Amino acid sequence: MIAVGLLNWNSGQHYDHGGDCPCTQCGKPTPLRSHAGEPVHKVCAEDWNDRNPNAARHEHDGRDLGTQRFHSDPPRKSRRRNR
């Protein structure tokens, strides 16, 4: 088992088909975006959460990102499918 909290980013909103942008954490290109639209690898987001368990994320390198902690997709409501 892994101690790091893994994020659930299954939603298509996390994949930007427009192309790669530099990850705000490691600087390498990534097509992934956080909920705030910030380019970041999922593993980098998980790593950041792990290293900053209580921090609110409002800036990075002096730039105000307007973001909070990385978080998982909300549980999907099953409106369309009745079981």
Beta strands 21-22 and 63-64: pairing type? unpaired
Determine the Cα–Cα distance for residues 38 and 51; give it in Å rounded to an integer.
18
Smallest gap from Cβ 2 to Zn ion, in A, equals: 18
Residues paired with residue 51 on neighbouring β-strands, in sequence order = none
Smallest gap from Cβ 42 to Zn ion, in A, equals: 9
Which residue sits closest to Zn ion, CB atoms considered?
Answer: 23
Determine the Cα–Cα distance for residues 64 and 67; give it in Å rounded to an integer.
8
Smallest gap from Cβ 55 to Zn ion, in A, equals: 18
Number of residues engaging Zn ion in binding (CB under 5 A): 5
Site for Zn ion in 7-66 (CB under 5 A): 23, 25-26, 41, 44
**Under the rule (CB under 5 A), what is the footprint of Zn ion?**
23, 25-26, 41, 44
